[in-house]
Amino acid sequence: MGQSGYQLKKCQQEDHNEQIETICYNQQCTDFRLNCSKCEERFHQDHYNDVLRINSLVGFIKDKNTECQNLISDLKTFVEIMNQSFSQLISGI
Ligand SMILES: [Zn+2]
Ligand SMILES: [Zn+2]
């Protein structure tokens, strides 16, 4: 218990002791999707551009989270403006 945060798993290849560092998201790929630095030399060579480093993926998710936060605060502002307009409308009647 008490485990929190992001943890890297070990490579699925039996002869590899390295942690997983990259993810392949190529749709035609039949190799292991989660790879360590050793795997990089063996797999995904023909579609190397579809392999993402997990570190950059974490950054990508954080960026998306920030975007969502911004969107939510925009929506809140919008709702406040709506409420103000509505109050003005009611008090004007
Ligand atoms: Zn490996
Ligand atoms: Zn692949």
8 pLDDT higher than 80: no
Residue 81 CA, ligand 2 centroid: distance in Å:
49
Neighbours of ion ligand 2 (CB under 5 A): 24, 26, 29, 44
Q: Which pLDDT score is estimated for 31?
A: 86
Residue 53 CA, ligand 1 centroid: distance in Å:
14
Which ligand neighbours the alpha carbon of 46 most closely? Answer: 2
38-68 residue pLDDT tens: 888 788 989 989 998 888 888 888 999 999 9
Cα–Cα distances (Å) from 73 to 31, 50, 51, 61, 70, in that order, read 42, 33, 33, 18, 5
> Could you state, in order of their start, the residue ranges of all structural domains in the chain?
22-92
Which ligand neighbours the alpha carbon of 21 most closely? Answer: 1
20-35 residue pLDDT tens: 999 998 999 988 889 9
Beta carbons of 51 and 23 less than 8 angstroms apart: yes
pLDDT interval class at 2 (50, 70, 90): very low
Work out the number of other CB atoms within 10 angstroms of the CB of residue 40: 17
Q: Look at the block and give the residue holding tokens 């630095």.
A: 37
